[in-house]
Amino acid sequence: MINLDTIKALPIRSFLEKQGITPVIDKGYYGLYRSPYRVDTVPSFKVDYCRNLRCDYGTGEGGSIIDLVMRLEKCSVGDAIRILEDTPDQIRIPTYLPPEDHPPALIITEIKPLVHPALIRYLESRKIDENIAKDHCHEIIYKVGEKTYFAVGFQNDSGGWELRNKAFKGSSTPKGITTLRSGKSRLLVFEGFIDYLSYLMLKRSDPPSSSDILVLNSVSNTKRAQAVLQAYKEIGTCLDNDDAGRKATEQIRQLAPDAVIRDYSPYYSESNDLNDYLITISHERKAQ
């Protein structure tokens, strides 16, 4: 029998490779994958090669190779260990050496008004009006290694930025929530800023003014929003129609037990999220 430490040291990268799963973006010391257990159109499943840990930014989950096998196979800890005991010889140990120190993977070099045509077209593909986007977002120029990129940026309360373009979904550090408050007693909660912008598009004929706003920028940030949540008597959740969204709504109920929680996801139950709903009804209106 292989001991537990040896099993945990089996490289996640090589395990995934044996399943035919390779990174969309490979930085040498980490890789970004499309999640192997959920629909993930933009890679948001990170494997840290140096620490041999995974983090799914879409669900907030993370952990060792054992946790990953449990998630993939929907099995117990014991079963996951047995699966890995049966396959260690098939897992290739990588030949690279992890760097002792490395700079941040993403460095912001410029923040400016949102004007780049490619970013405007990206927002249009998501049915977001550029004027609404310009009121809430900036154009962010950033570097990864020696290469320079640009993205729509939405700032969080900690000073970090959520970044989106046609080919990239990510963020700068520090990660955090975004709050837009004006002293209202009601709070609306969104997972990401594209959903918040979609809400503004949907309410265009009747601009929202009765609610403060909380954008989690990932359901994994729900716990850190506890102090914000507890300040409101009524909370409306506009989260995704998936397990992660439902779990986050339930977590909000637990974190703010004195508030009235209204889950608005049934209103767009045929769509994965608010942006999907906005795109769907936009196409339907155009077809009429």
Q: What digits encode the pLDDT tens for the residues 101-146?
A: 445 568 899 999 999 999 999 999 999 999 999 999 999 999 887 8
Q: What residue numbers bound the domain in which 85 lies?
A: 4-90
Is it the case that residue 186 has pLDDT exceeding 60? Answer: yes
In Å, what is the CA distance from 225 to each residue of 32, 186, 196, 214, 242?
26, 15, 17, 8, 20
Residue 271 tokens, joined: 């769509």
Same domain for 120 and 137, yes or no, is yes
Same domain for 200 and 226, yes or no, is yes
Number of domains forming the structure of the chain: 3
* HEC per residue, 60-100: CEEECHHHHHHHHHCCCHHHHHHHHHHCHHHCCCCCCCCCC
Q: Where are the beta strands (DSSP E) in 156-266?
A: 161-165, 168-171, 178-180, 186-190, 212-215, 234-238, 260-263
In a domain, 44, yes or no: yes
Q: Give the other-Cβ count within 10 Å of 198's Cβ.
A: 25
Highest mean pLDDT among 38-47, 170-179, 205-214: 170-179
Same domain for 184 and 264, yes or no, is yes
C-alpha to C-alpha distance for 221 and 218, rounded to whole angstroms: 6
In a domain, 98, yes or no: no
In a domain, 224, yes or no: yes
Q: What pLDDT does residue 175 have?
A: 85
Q: What pLDDT does residue 100 have?
A: 45
In a domain, 97, yes or no: no
- Lowest pLDDT segment from 54-68, 150-164, 216-230: 54-68
Average pLDDT, the chain: 86
Highest mean pLDDT among 153-157, 172-176, 203-207: 153-157
Same domain for 152 and 182, yes or no, is no
Q: Give the other-Cβ count within 10 Å of 135's Cβ.
A: 11
